[in-house]
Amino acid sequence: MEVKTSLLDNMIGVGDMVLLEPLNEDSFIENLRNRFDHNEIYTYIGSVVISMNPYRSLPIYTPQKVEEYRNRNFYELSPHIYALADEAYRSLRDQDKDQCILITGESGAGKTEASKLVMSYVAAVCGKGQEVNKVKEQLLQSNPVLEAFGNAKTMRNDNSSRFGKYMDIEFDFKGDPLGGVISNYLLEKSRVCKQPRGERNFHIFYQLLSGASDDTLMKLKLDRDFSKYNYLSLDSANVNGLDDAASFRTVRIVGFMEAEVQSVLELVAAVLKLGNIEFKPESRINGFDESRVKDKNGETIEMCELLGIEQSVLERAFSYRTVEAKMEKMSTTLNVAQAYYARDALAKNLYSRLFSWLVTRINESIKAQAKTRHKVMGVLDIYGFEIFEDNSFEQFIINYCNEKLQQIFIELTLREEQEEYIREDIEWTNIEYFNNAVICDLIENNQNGILAMLDEECLRPGTVTDDTFLDKLNTICAEHQHFESRLSKNSKFLTDHSLPHSCFRIQHYAGKVLYRVEGFVDKNNDLLYRDLSQAMYKATHSLMRQLFPEGNPAKVNLKRPPTAGFQFKASVGVLMKNLQTKNPNYIRCIKPNDKKVAHIFTDSLVCHQVRYLGLMENVRVRRAGYAFRQPYESCLERYKMLCKKTWPQWRGPTRDGVEVLLTDCSVPSEEFAYGRSKIFIRNPRTLFTLEERRRACLEDLATLIQKIYRGWKSRTHFLLLKKSQVVVAAWYRRYAVSLLCTQEHIQNVMPVQMWTSIQQTSQGLMMYILNYQCKKYRGQFTEEKKSVYEEKLEASEIFKDKKALYPSSVSQPFKGDYLEIQKNPKYQKLNGAVEEKVLLADLVNKINRANGKGSPRLFLLTKSNFVLADQKTGQVKASVPLPDLASVSVSTQSDGFFALKLKEVMEGESPTPAPLWFLILLPLCLSGRFLVQFKQDKVCVKFIQGGPKNGNSAACKRKNNRLLEVSVPSP
């Protein structure tokens, strides 16, 4: 009897929170803690996976684990991220449903690692093959590149994603990957110029300086010392556990040529050089301050050389700003503060546009080539909800995105739950939950949303500051229940000293976040002076014109570009529409502590995340109708031993079997409901009762099995003893009778009989052993190996003891296509000429009948033709159908000479003037001499001993008009 494992077997705590009893916040946290302490980092809420970051490596992602979860029911094994990935992949492959996997949680909760695990699992279980493996390798190789350019060390995470990534992996009808498309959202480009204390810039800067060769750094005009670059913070340049040099060596930009990689690194170096450019004030006669570059012989020159731009053009762009309005142009000078602003704006735009170009270029390499309809699995790895001491425009945008994801989680979770009850004809009971649509509306409403008001401030004429933006918020949002400022009606600033001036606070679903308005307007404008764009467009670097197309003087656009907030809102809207067209799968990541260390579980921190992720509400929604549901087949298989009528095998419909089972177990009718394909159990206690009865029944069955086994073993032992006693008694009686024989009979008759018997027994045993060994050897043969030996046997019948060269060829396997013409691009032309499968392809020498010299030719043999082609060009010289072949002549010597003779008359055609012969040198293998006829000439081919000095080839020489002498090696 096979008993399958389940998340209910050997369970630490409760594997599915839906079954938690009693259900409250304390028991929820305690269950997570209990499982976390026993290295069980995954827990279910129905089909939702809760993932706790262990901050260490665990042996639960091995190839054996992949095979264990492959093609298994979701609840069949203990909770794991592989179970969710397998469920999503099989639904996509077998049911043709597009899938999306939404990974959410705070920064540092393990979202990026979770997305890698999902992709690596799908890559491991999908199809194999050269092309499929190539696509999988390209998809997996895109991760290190995007992490190097888009991730950074923060206070909460050593590998924090500072951009949002959504990848659509495309599959064919068989479930094999065809390619992918990556979408990126809002790179935190302000990090290029300034990082908070304890954090550092993007990984690529440190990886380049640590891991690049000395020769590469010399070409890029860089130094390994981090302290020489103003854009690199020094207090956390080196991170424990991060090997920047090793990481740089693993970064392979998918599908990039060497020149493109060098161009990318040159721009990274240029950004570092930009940060070292400094300015000095210079007063003009008119009283206006003007800025000038301090160092004209150092960093500026090197940066200009990297970008291929004239130094004077760049310096002027840093000193002047040209404003165009209709047909008028006006040039103003920039003071030192404005010059530094322009420098940083250029650095941020250069790096941000380089990152977007990288994503686009990677998409070109990994996109699906086939134009047929694809099955799609989307994996969303986007920045987590952030609450810092100082929150600015970036955190506001990031948290808005998380609000949208929380909204879609609520909608799709409830919708999926309700749709399942409708599909199964089960009555649905509504439950109250917090809908964060009111917060999303506060931010994104087109009329009076915060983003709309920010855009309005950025675009209106006159003096616009962050304070005027805050004044507008105070006016319009003053009475909103989720908005607070010192002037709003919801604030309690008289007692709440944490709400300073120039700040506002929003009550997000994850908690209250205080935003400082300083920089909101500038960051939303995302302005780069047109002079700098035009200067970059003039650069001769291969990428600059692609990165700064607006710098083209011939295409000057006076229209203001869309704001950063507007672009992000539009891209998030597209993302939400994309996700709503797919079947959702959720991974909710939680970090157990803020110290980023293993074995620490902070209750208050976990509780906070459980609250704002809405996990308790998720459980209540799941349990509002029925806590547990299972297909009839699985339910009957698991509990059939509880009823005599269903054990050991139920003959009939599975639903009827489940009804008989539950009736026999006296389960109250109000505790379950029958759906179309599933049994629904209302109370977890009912399920636990069935589990306890099953466990007790398994113990009884184990006892029964032990009893029967022990009885069988004892009886078998007794029968063996009884049989042995009979044999011993028989041999003893035989021995006793033999003692009565006379001594003469023993001396004369018995030895001869015994010797004859021994000889016959020995021969029989030898023959038996030989037959056994032969049978065992034959059993190891595969069908392919059998066919090879059959070919060898047939060749033996033809050439053995007839051809001197034959013994040396026995051990050599026949490969057929020795030239690999299908893979060799040199023979592409030949592939088109030969349409059939090539059985034999080798290089031979065609003998010239005039002088006996050889000309190299390609010899191809198919099922219906043999072909001779030119070795260099692949041009077909002769193609002859096999039915036109009359005979093959070879010698008996150790040479590789053979002649092919064509029929003189072909059916249905006029006779040819004379037989046509091809003389070819090829390792093949039956007379000492033979005649060949070329048109009207007859030539005798004679073989003589004593060939060339190397002793391993044959040489042909024309002696006269009638004789062609072939010298072959001596045996």
| Residues recognised as catalytic | 107-108, 112, 157, 160-161, 384, 386
Residue 107 marked as a ligand binder: yes
Q: What do you get for the CA distance between the two ends of the chain, in Å?
A: 68
Helix (H) or strand (E) holding 900: strand 897-902
8 A C-beta contact, residue 590 and residue 105: yes
Tokens of 937: 């000439």
Residue 595 marked as a ligand binder: no
Chain centroid, CA 84 distance in Å: 15
Tokens of 869: 């082609």
Tokens of 379: 């994996």
Alpha-carbon gap, residue 394 to 516, rounded angstroms:
11
Residue 109 marked as a ligand binder: yes
Residue 112 marked as a ligand binder: yes
Residue 449 marked as a ligand binder: no
Alpha-carbon gap, residue 277 to 747, rounded angstroms:
118
What is the greatest pairwise CA distance in the chain? 148
In terms of Cβ atoms closer than 10 Å to its own Cβ (0-12, 13-18, 19+), residue 225 is exposed
DSSP label of 759: H
Residue 378 marked as a ligand binder: no
Tokens of 417: 């739950």
| φ, ψ (nearest 5 deg) of residue 99 | -120, 155
Tokens of 758: 């021994």
DSSP label of 136: H
Q: With DSSP H G I counted as helix, E B as strand and the rest as coil, what are the percentages for the chain, rounded to 5?
A: 45, 20, 35
Residue 852 marked as a ligand binder: no
- Encode 596-619: b = buried (16+ Cβ within 10 Å), e = exposed: beeeeeeeebbebbbebbbbbbbb
Tokens of 507: 């009550």
Beta-carbon contacts of 369 under 8 Å, excluding residues fewer than 6 positions away, are: 178, 179
Query: Which amino acid makes up residue 360?
Result: T
How many C-alpha atoms does 327 have within 13 Å on its Cβ side? Answer: 0
DSSP 615-683: HHHHHHHHHHH-SEEEEHHHHHHHHGGG-TTTSS---S-HHHHHHHHHHHTT--GGGEEE-SSEEEE--
Binding residues for ATP: 105-112
Binding residues: 105-112
